[in-house]
């Protein structure tokens, strides 16, 4: 089964996350064979990044969204670890600063969109403005509800400017989230990642699910598709993300540019 095709949210499709099994692996099994496939995909991603940088006709924007402990950091660390840092820009979107709040909600996002030749990675994104903002009533409904169309227009503009957009929702179960929280508490090296707000936000689990379902339905487009990645099993999360990114970049049919000089005329001293 083609992972990319199986996990893509078709534009306009009604999304009910209860229909998606966060333990699903699409028939793939954990083990050396899958590990080798992940390693091969990451190596291919590295070579495609080099080609992307050389050609400078495209940029790749990778968006990661998930509920707390969903694995955004882990996916970025494992899948992107082989990339050249000079060609990769990572941005994390937390609570807006006073300066950011003084602008439209996309202002802080547009500033960090990758330039042609680079890969940009968003750890959370502009979608927070139709997720946490919606769940906690931070702005009126008529404000956040207008943002779906504004986001689609924004992403359409980026696509028309050479930016290829791939959006991942890392889908975990509520039980898996609790398990990961408890593992962090028991691990001195990861205990710093836990906060009281993580547990308080669990009370809004159903509200977040509804918010994600609407964002996935209204903002998965041909220009910027959403992928619902079953993420209870970290190895499959890494496998799926790496395969989708490789296939997306391969579709760009990139080529190395011609030399700016005739190499036959170069004289060595």
pLDDT in the model for residue 82: 84
For the entire predicted model, the pTM comes to 0.95
Tell me what the mean pLDDT of segment 87-116 comes to: 95
Tell me what the mean pLDDT of segment 217-246 comes to: 98
Nearest to 21, CA basis, from 172, 189, 204: 172
Tell me what the mean pLDDT of segment 51-66 comes to: 98
Query: How far apart are alpha carbons 68 and 86 in whole angstroms?
Result: 29
Residue that has been written with the tokens 């227009």 in this structure: 153
Query: How far apart are alpha carbons 69 and 184 in whole angstroms?
Result: 10
- Residue 3: exposure state from Cβ atoms within 10 A (0-12, 13-18, ≥19): buried
Its domain, for residue 12, covers 3-254
Q: Hey, which of 62-66, 75-79, 254-258 has the most confident mean pLDDT?
A: 62-66
For the cut 80, the answer to whether the pLDDT of residue 265 exceeds it is: no
Collect all residues with Cβ–Cβ distance below 8 Å to 186 and sequence separation of at least 6.
Answer: none
Instruction: Decide if 265 is inside a domain.
Output: no
* CATH number of the domain residue 245 falls in: 3.40.50.300
Distance of CA 224 to the CA centre of its chain: 11
Query: For the ranges 116-120, 192-196, 229-233, which has the lowest average pLDDT?
Result: 192-196
pLDDT in the model for residue 104: 96
> Encoding tokens for residue 200?
């308080």
**pLDDT above 90: percentage of residues in the chain:** 87
For the cut 80, the answer to whether the pLDDT of residue 262 exceeds it is: no
For the cut 80, the answer to whether the pLDDT of residue 263 exceeds it is: no
Instruction: Decide if 56 is inside a domain.
Output: yes
Instruction: Decide if 182 is inside a domain.
Output: yes
Instruction: Decide if 11 is inside a domain.
Output: yes
Give me the number of domains the chain comprises: 1
pLDDT in the model for residue 269: 58
- Band of residue 268 on the pLDDT scale cut at 50, 70, 90: low
Instruction: Decide if 259 is inside a domain.
Output: no
pLDDT tens digit string along 171-182?
999 999 999 999
DSSP code per residue over 239-253: HHHHHHHHHHHHTT-
Tell me what the mean pLDDT of segment 23-46 comes to: 96
State the average pLDDT for the chain: 94
């Amino acid at each position: 089964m083609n992972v990319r095709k199986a996990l893509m949210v078709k534009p306009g499709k009604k999304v009910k996350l209860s229909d998606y099994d966060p333990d699903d692996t699409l028939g793939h099994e954990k083990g050396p064979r899958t590990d080798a496939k992940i390693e091969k995909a990451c190596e291919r991603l590295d070579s495609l990044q080099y080609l992307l940088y050389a050609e400078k006709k495209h940029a790749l924007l990778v968006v990661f969204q998930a509920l707390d402990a969903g694995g955004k950091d882990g996916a970025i660390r494992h899948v992107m670890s082989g990339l050249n840092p000079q060609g990769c820009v990572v941005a994390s979107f937390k609570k807006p600063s006073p300066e950011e709040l003084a602008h439209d909600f996309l202002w802080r996002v547009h500033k960090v969109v990758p330039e042609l030749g680079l890969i940009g990675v968003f750890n959370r994104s502009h979608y927070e403005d139709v997720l946490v903002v919606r769940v906690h009533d931070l702005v009126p409904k008529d404000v956040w509800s207008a943002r779906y169309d504004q986001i689609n227009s924004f992403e359409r503009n980026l696509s028309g400017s050479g930016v290829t957009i791939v959006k991942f929702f890392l889908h975990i179960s509520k039980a898996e989230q609790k398990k990961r929280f408890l593992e962090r508490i028991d691990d001195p090296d990861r205990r710093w990642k836990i906060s009281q707000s993580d547990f308080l936000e669990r009370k809004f689990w159903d509200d977040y699910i509804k918010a994600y379902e609407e964002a996935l339905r209204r903002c998965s487009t041909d220009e910027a598709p959403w992928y619902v990645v079953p993420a209870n099993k970290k190895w499959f999360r890494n496998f799926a993300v790496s395969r989708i990114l490789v296939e997306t970049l391969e579709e760009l049919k990139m080529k190395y540019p011609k030399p700016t000089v005739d190499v036959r005329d170069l004289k060595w001293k």
